[in-house]
Amino acid sequence: MGVKQRRNPQYEEGVRHFLKKRWDAALHSFQMVDASNCSDSEKADIAYYLGLCYTKLERYNDALLYLEQVITGTASPLRSCQCRLTLAYIYVITRRAKMAEFELDRLISSGFKSVQIYTMLGYSAWVQKDTERAIEWYEQAIKIDGENTTALNSLGYILADCEKDTKRGLELCKKAVQQKPQNAVYLDSLGWAYYKNGDINEARNCLRHALDIAPRQKEVINHMKEVIGNESP
């Protein structure tokens, strides 16, 4: 019976740092691995971790290079799925909505369905100002998990902001804030939903709380200006 070869110590160190969310240290360790002494599967593992480290560090162009290597290689379906999802996330964050949709559509056609996929599709549609499709995708997300705060907040905001169903929008935003009361984005959405329902006092209170948490958040500032400007003299 053969002896299992021990992995490269830099690789093992990188994994330890990664699991502890020390992204810079993990990246450095994986970069120090001598790829000439690695098998193809080990190289794929390194590319996978490098892609995730670069994503966590918001070095998105570098991340894309390694994530694509994993997808075009011989990675397991689950790992390919994770990398496609990460690619889609990067494309959404960098406002490349069509490319994000391409990756997400590939996942759905492969049988992968999740709240995260649907919420990213919803956001992608919203960025492209396709309100109806955004609502449809967020509704799909809530069908899977009615307590998902991202889906609740996003759908609630859209329903209120576009005045599709301001009362339901308000209730959905309330549910998101109940779960995460210190989330400035969710408080902003709730404040805006109150405003769209004609409750200026509650709108101002929520937006003030959001500004206490995130004083430089432009959208919260703009919403507060709108609310204050429409207060009764």
Q: Total domain count for the chain?
A: 1
Cα–Cα distance, 227 to 189 (Å, whole number): 13
- Whether residue 96 is contained in a domain is answered as no
**Domain residues for 216?**
164-233
Over range 169-184, report the average pLDDT.
Answer: 97
- Whether residue 215 is contained in a domain is answered as yes
- Per-residue model confidence (pLDDT) at position 75: 67
pLDDT tier at 230 (50, 70, 90 boundaries)?
low
Q: Does residue 108 or residue 53 have the better pLDDT?
A: 53
pTM of the model: 0.79
Structural contact between residues 154 and 140, judged by C-beta atoms closer than 8 angstroms: no
How many CA atoms lie within 13 Å of 148's alpha carbon, on the beta-carbon side? Answer: 20
Of 160, 138, 137, nearest to 151 by C-alpha is 138
- Whether residue 227 is contained in a domain is answered as yes
- Whether residue 78 is contained in a domain is answered as no
The per-residue pLDDT for range 40-91, each reduced to its tens digit, is 888 889 999 999 999 999 999 999 999 998 988 866 788 888 899 999 999 9
Tell me, what CATH number does 179's domain have?
A: 1.25.40.10
pLDDT tier at 217 (50, 70, 90 boundaries)?
very high
- Whether residue 109 is contained in a domain is answered as no
- Whether residue 232 is contained in a domain is answered as yes
In sequence order, what DSSP letters do the residues of 131-196 get, joined into one string? HHHHHHHHHHHHHH-TT-HHHHHHHHHHHHHTTSSHHHHHHHHHHHHHH-TT-HHHHHHHHHHHHH
- Whether residue 207 is contained in a domain is answered as yes
- Whether residue 116 is contained in a domain is answered as no
Of 196, 150, 200, nearest to 169 by C-alpha is 196
- Per-residue model confidence (pLDDT) at position 19: 95
